[in-house]
Structure 1
């Protein structure tokens, strides 16, 4: 598998130097660096942005900013990406790389819970990348679709991409009663596939991406 993953990386468009540096810094300075999107997934996100040409993007879970930068590279002038991160200790590292990027001006970083922040940003989003607290994935979906009593944050044609949806294979294994992360992801996946308002496909890339299109 390692040889196959290496082949995939070697035959995918190369990682931008700034993103490569951010990957290194994340592995040196941050606990659980595997949460970073990385080269291939970053390239996929950037390509999706170029194909969809969104004007407004929402990211739930900034971490150190890799995925935000990967998407911002593909954004057209005048488009904006709002990204939310609950861990304020990650803010200096993310901002330092946003400031160094020629695309950093397209990014708006918000510190706090996405469930509190996103509804205050006004309007709807053309693209949403969900990579926050796995226990809150069902709540993120209810918020985005307007099922929590507030106006929806997406519209017909919006695309949602949820990361870590396979959770290292735990979604097909017996689940402990106190494993809130896996149970929330199972709930999220069931809700999405049973929602007639959307269509979706799960890609087994890295830890799994659930790509959802609002009809």
Structure 2
């Protein structure tokens, strides 16, 4: 069944509403950034929030902050003493997530780092409960290689843009499409992981470490 704009609108109206702060953030993202489509959006955001609440993580690591919408969604499920480390290297848009993190009830639980993600991941020496990948596609496999030993048994990795506008099943040879194909194959062939791809927005892969 095709998810038409009308059906998507129905789904959103009959799903839990996003918090007011996220509505404000979504609006500002569309007004002040050149690529607002990178925002997770209501449906994906509620999915991230739901999964986070189900596992009540102590430590979430997010690669790719953008304007902070997904960060705040993930933070909704943190345990009482939990925290989220979110990493991005775009200094031009960094003022937006910083502003909204400070306005949120999770401000003391969010560690926003402007740096290269691989550097940050290598320095983490705590057990990770949940990872969200929404950054440069060419490094998805590398990110997983680094975080997997630190991810607890039963921990979750969520990767965005896994269907890449449908290009993964078409005859596209560009580097980003090839990177996504390689990542999907890499995850599927790892016997220590369970994987499920959901056709939500641009495709989301939910990966569980056994």
Report the alpha carbon displacement of residue 208 of structure 1 after superposing the two structures with TM.
0.6
Instruction: Please give the secondary structure, in 2, of the residue aligned with 1:44.
Output: helix
Say whether the 8 Å CA contact 1:69–1:104 is kept in structure 2: no
Instruction: Please give the secondary structure, in 1, of the residue aligned with 2:94.
Output: helix
Separation in 1, partners of 2:17, 2:190: 37
1:205 equivalent to 2:200? Answer yes
> Unmatched 5+ residue regions in structure 2?
none
Structure 1 segments (4+ residues) deviating >4 Å: none
Say whether the 8 Å CA contact 1:119–1:153 is kept in structure 2: no
Q: Cα RMSD over matched residues?
A: 0.9
Separation in 2, partners of 1:99, 1:77: 18
The one of 24, 36, 39 aligned to 2:39: 36
Q: Which residue of 2 aligns with 1:17?
A: 20
> Following superposition of structure 1 onto structure 2, how do residues 15-164 of structure 1 map, counting pairs within 5 Å?
15-145=18-148, 152-164=149-161
Say whether the 8 Å CA contact 2:16–2:46 is kept in structure 1: yes
1:172 equivalent to 2:203? Answer no
Report the alpha carbon displacement of residue 180 of structure 1 after superposing the two structures with TM.
1.2
Instruction: Please give the secondary structure, in 2, of the residue aligned with 1:128.
Output: strand
> Unmatched 5+ residue regions in structure 1?
146-151
Separation in 2, partners of 1:170, 1:113: 27
Instruction: Please give the secondary structure, in 2, of the residue aligned with 1:138.
Output: helix
Report the alpha carbon displacement of residue 16 of structure 1 after superposing the two structures with TM.
0.7
Instruction: Please give the secondary structure, in 1, of the residue aligned with 2:92.
Output: helix
TM-score (norm 1): 0.94
Separation in 2, partners of 1:142, 1:65: 25
Report the alpha carbon displacement of residue 121 of structure 1 after superposing the two structures with TM.
2.5
Q: How many residues are matched?
A: 207
TM-score (norm 2): 0.96
Report the alpha carbon displacement of residue 3 of structure 1 after superposing the two structures with TM.
0.3
Separation in 1, partners of 2:34, 2:107: 24
Report the alpha carbon displacement of residue 139 of structure 1 after superposing the two structures with TM.
1.3
Provide, for residues 89-138 of structure 1, a one-character-per-residue CA deviation record: whole Å limited to 9, x for no partner: 12111100000001121110011111111121222210000111112112
The one of 181, 184, 194 aligned to 1:186: 181
Provide, for residues 45-100 of structure 1, a one-character-per-residue CA deviation record: whole Å limited to 9, x for no partner: 11111110110100000000000001112212210000000111121111000000
